[in-house]
Amino acid sequence: MAGKNPGASVSQLAPFKNERIFPGVDHPTVARAFPGAIAQVRAQLGKTYPLHIDGRDVTTSKTLDSVNPADPDEVVGKVCQAGVAEAEQALTAAQRASLTWRDVAPAERATYLVKAAEVARHRMFELAAWQVLEEGKQWAQAYNDIAEGIDFLEYYAREMVRLGTPQDLGSYDKEGNFYFYQPKGVAVVIAPWNFPFAISCGMCAAAIVAGDTVVFKPSSQSSVVGHHLVEIFREAGLPAGVFNYVPGPGSVIGDYLVDSPKVSLIAFTGSMAVGLRIIERAARTAEDQAYVKKVVCEMGGKNAIILDEEFDEDAVIRDVLYSAFGYQGQKCSACSRLIVTDKAYDRFVPKLVEAAKKLKIGPAEDPQSYMGPVIDRNAQRTIMQYVELAAQEGKLLYQSEVPSKGYYVPLTIAEGITPAHRLAQEEVFGPVLAIMRAKDFEQALEWANSTRFALTGAIFSNNQEHLDRAVRDFRVGNLYLNRSCVGALVKVQPFGGFKMSGVGTKAGGPDYLLHFMDPRSVTRQ
């Protein structure tokens, strides 16, 4: 297969270790590197980004301006837009490349991921700076997103080395048996904007290392960052056609990619509405389709933090604010319901609100800003409707001021919400925290489980019995005891939910790559 083998020997790979998470804005390296990286990125704004199909850059006459949400007059980049014709070209290229890529040894495929991780690590601050400007991510949030992407590359490389070794299943009579995995074929990867590097990188890396070829459609709101994957995989020497980048509106090319008979797997992360649509469409089979499509699907959340009777108040204030308002509440894992038991309520809630009032709101590039803008005008409009709803269904405890320019929405805290309210059931995806007063721990637990989602959750309690009970009965994909409900780390905290939050495939976990392959068993006399 054409393409240069990066040559690193996987047999020498050290055991997986997570990248260091953000060391703080005052850390000397960070304080020096981040402002420089933002300036370096700002000097490159407004470039045009081509599609990448079969190892070649493809330009289109149609482009989309990707803008800085803190200042929509600032165009971050102009992104060429794939239509159905380009989507088809990418699928054809991926299908062709799949015939050779599938036979590249798993350990060799892993070397490309390790090399890509090296490239990303080398560009750490610069890659993070792009997210500060394109997605309004605070320094820490942007840096940790790149670190997570690197973790996915390094972890899945090692996972593939483990899974790529055929297993001896023992013998029966004179028959010997072994078991191995083969790739599925062409994978369509459809990603959200909120973890624009990490999630895209994780889904693409998993497919590539498993031996599938990829047609990657980034979110329209994060297609400049999406292009970083082209740059990284190109520098890693990935052969032509293995990774194809086709930014374009989901409404134009989404169904086309999902419906294609060339596709055997769709890896999707995004909203419940789009995820369910993909699952339904992927279930239909065309006459000329060889594969029953597999859908790896991660969707939304309506995550709760329970505050029991006794807990460490300072830790709770810090972690609840971070879980609810970090990156403006635009995380699938964000806390949007705070369920406080009656005994703790009056003592604690006013302190939380006082602490929230001190948080500064402004552009993400200013490290003093705790909260920045939301992703775009549509998000701003939708979230503002929920802010109004919060005032109707409950009582507003706090609504912050916001800068006049940019896609800001106020940091909002409302109380008086019960499971019957829409604010307790629907994903808001913004900085709106609904506080619910439960009569006791039993009711708090019941309310925590009372939505269609099951993604993350947390409980703060000094009562060991209640913590043990939560482990069994607080039914979410990622549960945290006495800490925030955001910030899962690859390998040590495999991430993903069930119910309407996803199909339970756990990104960054030991079973994830299995979704991208088919097992085969061979018996010999």
365 is catalytic: no
**d(C-alpha 172, C-alpha 39), whole Å:** 66
Q: Tell me: does residue 502 bind ligand NAP (CB under 6 A).
A: yes
- DSSP secondary structure string for all residues of 38-75: HHHHHTTTTEEE-EEETTEEE--S-EEEEEETTEEEEE
Closest distance to ligand NAP from the beta carbon of 400 (Å)? 23
The answer to whether residue 329 forms part of the interface with ligand NAP (CB under 6 A) is no
Nearer to ligand NAP, 37 or 297 (CB): 297
Is residue 204 flagged as an active site residue? no
> Under rule CB under 6 A, which residues in 267-296 are in contact with ligand NAP?
269-271, 274, 277-278
Q: Spot the catalytic one: 298, 365, 393, 415.
A: 298
Closest CB 207 distance from ligand NAP, rounded Å: 16
**Cβ contact 411:359 at 8 Å:** yes
- The β-bridge relationship of strands 335-341 and 432-438 is parallel
CB 53 within 8 A of CB 244: yes
Q: Could you say which residues in the range 196-215 bind ligand NAP, by CB under 6 A? A: 199
For residue 313, CA distances in Å to 163, 303, 351, 479, 483 come to 45, 20, 9, 20, 12
Give the C-alpha separation, 229 to 201, whole Å. 7
Complex with ligand NAP: residue 378 or 392, whichever CB lies closer = 378
Q: How far is the CB of 193 from ligand NAP (least distance, A)?
A: 5
Q: Is 191 in the site for ligand NAP (CB under 6 A)?
A: yes
Asked if 258 touches ligand NAP (CB under 6 A), the answer is: yes
Q: Which residues 6+ apart lie within 8 Å of 350 measured at CB?
A: none
Q: How far apart are CA 264 and CA 185, in angstroms?
A: 6
- Indicate whether 217 belongs to the interface with ligand NAP (CB under 6 A): yes
339 binds ligand NAP (CB under 6 A): no
Binding to ligand NAP in span 478-497, by CB under 6 A? 496
Q: How far is the CB of 108 from ligand NAP (least distance, A)?
A: 29
137 interacts with ligand NAP by CB under 6 A: no
The whole-angstrom distance between residue 425's C-alpha and the CA centroid of its chain comes to: 21
CB of 80 to ligand NAP, least distance (A): 14
- State the DSSP code for 436: E
Distance between CA atoms of residues 235 and 6, nearest Å:
9
Cα 485 to Cα 478: distance, rounded to the nearest angstrom: 8
**Does position 92 bind ligand NAP by CB under 6 A?**
no
| Cβ contact 263:188 at 8 Å | yes
**From the CA atom positions of the chain, what is the Rg in Å?**
23
Give CA 51 to chain center in angstroms. 22
| Cβ proximity to ligand NAP, 239 vs 326, nearer residue | 326
Q: What does the alpha-carbon distance between residue 129 and residue 378 come to, in Å, rounded to a whole number?
A: 24
Establish if 426 lies at the interface with ligand NAP (CB under 6 A).
no
Distances (CA, A) of 259 to 135, 247, 286, 294, 494: 30, 17, 8, 12, 30
Minimum separation from the CB atom of position 426 to ligand NAP (A): 11
The residue type found at 62 is: K
Catalytic position from the list 332, 365, 393, 415: 332
Read off the DSSP letter of residue 171: E
Q: Name which of 66 and 95 has its Cβ closer to ligand NAP.
A: 66
| CB nearer to ligand NAP: pick between 274 and 433 | 274
Which C-beta is closer to ligand NAP: that of 106 or that of 431?
431
Binder among 255, 309, 310, 313 for ligand NAP (CB under 6 A): 255
Residue type, 462: N
CA angle (326, 227, 185) in 5-degree steps: 105
Q: Is 250 in the site for ligand NAP (CB under 6 A)?
A: yes
Q: Which stretch binds ligand NAP (CB under 6 A): 102-110, 116-124, 155-163, 297-305?
A: 297-305
Task: Check: CB of residue 432 under 8 Å from CB of residue 422.
Answer: no
Does position 299 bind ligand NAP by CB under 6 A? Answer: yes
Q: Shortest approach of ligand NAP to residue 383 CB, angstroms?
A: 12
Q: Pick the closer one to ligand NAP by CB: 183 or 301.
A: 301
Tell me the number of residues near ligand NAP by CB under 6 A: 34
Contact assessment for residue 257 and residue 188, using Cβ atoms and an 8 Å cutoff:
yes
CA distance 216 to 233: 12
What is the smallest separation between the CB atom of 43 and ligand NAP, expressed in angstroms? 27
- Which is closer to ligand NAP, CB of 210 or CB of 455? 455
Q: Is the dihedral of CA 355, 358, 363, 368 positive or negative?
A: negative
Q: Which stretch binds ligand NAP (CB under 6 A): 105-113, 191-199, 406-414, 433-441?
A: 191-199
Comparison of 164 and 270: residue with beta carbon closer to ligand NAP: 270
* Residue numbers at the binding site for ligand NAP (CB under 6 A): 190-195, 199, 217, 219-221, 249-251, 254-255, 258, 269-271, 274, 277-278, 298-301, 332, 427, 429, 455, 496, 501-502
- So which residues are the catalytic ones? 298, 332
